[in-house]
Amino acid sequence: MSRYIAITDIHGELGKLENLLSKIETKPDDIFVFMGDYIDRGPDSKGVIDRVIKQSETHKCIYLIGSHEYAFLHSDDEYFHYLFENYGGPQTVKSYGGFEKIYKTHKDFFDNLKFYYLTDKYLFVHAGINPELPLEKQSERDLVYIRGKFIYSKHNLPQKIIFGHTEFEKPYIDEGKIGIDLGCGKYKNAHLCGLILDENGNEKFILSD
């Protein structure tokens, strides 16, 4: 079984991403699962997406969609346009040199983002799931936006759920889930967190400086 390396909520912080990746002693069969929110808030959203794409040159990579990518891709809707404009979107526009250049530059990346990644042991998802519904009936919005209803309830999946979206001061751990968003891009001194899951079920957290 390969190791899974989960990283989420980078939010344009290329320097923290590079620092985190430099601390991970990778193995050839490692699988990176990037769990969304590559863009907005931080200074280099374009650089972050370029870097996570580059990681696929050496390792298998899974790219999930986050709430910020979802808002950007639905920004023709007034509500999602408001979210994009008011939660860090202008920084993304600046890093690409124009709004129209974002999708044009990384069309294939945005078009192929997945809502979740399921293995025998884990479900990787940006925000979480509605614990009242089976996985196949989850709404897109819950997968990228849900918070408390998911975090503070038990779910019925056999897999442990690895999620981001809701920031914590330290990784959130309970019996059925692990949250690894530590506020990178939102708070100046927040760390970017990586979670390494090995074939024996061991969990190791790596933090950027």
> How many domains, in total, are found in the chain?
1
Whole domain around residue 171: which residue ranges?
4-207
| Other residues' Cβ atoms within 10 Å of the Cβ of residue 68 | 28
pLDDT at 141 over 80: yes
CATH number at residue 189: 3.60.21.10
| Each residue's pLDDT tens digit, 76-85 | 999 999 999 9
- Looking at the whole model, is its pTM more than 0.85? yes
Lowest-confidence pick of 108-112, 121-125, 200-204: 200-204
| Each residue's pLDDT tens digit, 17-42 | 999 999 999 999 999 999 999 999 99
- Separation CA 164–CA 161 (nearest Å): 10
- Pair 37, 66: CB distance under 8 Å: yes
In 132-175, beta strands by DSSP E: 160-163, 172-174
Give residue for tokens 């503070």: 152
pLDDT of residue 200: 87
**For 36, what's the count of Cα atoms within 13 Å in the CB-facing half-sphere?**
29
